[in-house]
Structure 1
């Protein structure tokens, strides 16, 4: 299993591109983690087409994470590429994995465009998310904690198994980290962890570390009021064993001003085009 970064910067990055990544399974299936406004051009520049993507995994609904989904949904619904039929003509629907609370906000965002389908009975607003995506339902859920929705939902789709777990991003907003199962050694699941966007949760990270091959955490160097990202000083305070497994992403364009300090603390820095082996946790390209 590998993860390829198409973009590695924050929401307003012009230098590193907004964060969009692709997980490739052992079977060859390709899944995108988030699909922001730059994603259509990022994938095109890297030589990939929407028909090469098996499915989408959405951590939360902000423009730099979901604004490319409309492009993806329309292309897959209406366009045929070689042997890959448009889904409206009977081709396979692309899959969608998102925590149920996140999925509701995905549809709120996409509905103004995607609901305009005719059901043949005079209703021209019959479209639903299920017309465009094969919606993967959770196989298990963990009860609510601080919010009204499930604290975590567990998903399985062919060779992909993951947990979408609520994290604190914008207070009151559904947002999830992702725990990808990379192997199961004698019943102990080892994971690769992806933050989405969230503040630093030392208890969670330290608890996950023994069975985690690699952490990808969003990072900001600006300590602004109402912090909604991983403030670097809090990341820097994590135990060494966590820092040395962590790749910082979703960073600002002023990264170079802070890079010496980042690398001195043992972190790696995500850059567009990098590829990581999720089993070993090592960068391979």
Structure 2
């Protein structure tokens, strides 16, 4: 692909944290310049990528929404393979190869390192056997702008420049008190976006407010209601206006999603499944 080609998103996995049928949610964004980036890299991501016929060395960057195993546990595999192994014309980082990029809200980034440091810090430089940092394995994309903190002590949102597109990581309500972000990915020209929930509860007012400039929403979903809900309860999603429902793809769903397909589609939602590819400019599925 070259500049001017569509920006696409491909589901490598589309299920929830405990999915066996659809795999934990991991997606690959392909930018118009041909770069491939993953949104979240959970414990099943190495196998998901392999089944898609791709290699870690074909991934140019990682975007992380929050720290849970189904969203970051594949990063250790990715970091070690890229650091120590070459592939084709791509040299290992330790031999001077280019580091893949890493994009996350600073509060999320800190938790990523807190989780991975027990493994990745053991990188010997000189006489220091614990010299490894996140920067040893990744080129960190720093924010170009931000909004001041709201209810939490970290910035409400951070804006990043990525391959000529802006990505906004905005704090969302997942597990109370835990850094977690949705993504607003600039597509096409102007302020048009594709929206990715990460994991979060339903913020109906916000979803409605961004509808005029949103080509497609990807929202985590669950049909299981329980006290202290941390995902997108379908009982709330189904109350969204038709204009929002018809742009929404349900992901991070349970393995019984087919039981609910008739209701989901009658209300205008779509169901994301592994292998599905979406044109982010139009919001339409283009394959398979």
**Normalising TM by the smaller chain, what interval?**
over 0.9
Paired with 1:72 and 1:255, the residues of 2 have a C-alpha distance of 30
Give 2:233's aligned residue: 231
Mapped partners of 1:232, 1:192: distance in 2: 21
- Give the drift of 1:82: 1.2
Q: Mind listing any 5+ residue stretches in structure 2 that lack a counterpart?
A: 1-6
Give the alignment's TM-score, normalised by structure 1.
0.98
Residue number in structure 2 paired with 1:33: 39
2:142 equivalent to 1:137: yes
Partner of 1:118: 124
What CA RMSD, in Å, does the superposition of the two structures yield over aligned residues?
0.7
Match of 1:214 in 2: 216
Tell me the distance in 1 between the aligned counterparts of 2:110 and 2:165: 22
Which SS does the other structure have where 1:213 is aligned?
strand
Q: How many residues align?
A: 281
Contact 2:185-2:193 within 8 A present in 1 as well: yes
Contact 1:193 1:216 in 2 (8 A): yes
Partner of 2:49: 43
Among candidates 189, 192, 195, match of residue 190 of structure 1: 192
Match of 2:4 in 1: none
Deviation at 1:63, TM superposition (A): 0.3
Matched, 1:84 2:90: yes
CA-CA distance at 1:183 after TM superposition: 2.1
Tell me the residue number matched to 2:155.
150
Secondary structure at the counterpart of residue 216 of structure 1: strand
Contact 1:5/1:275, CA 8 A, preserved across alignment: yes
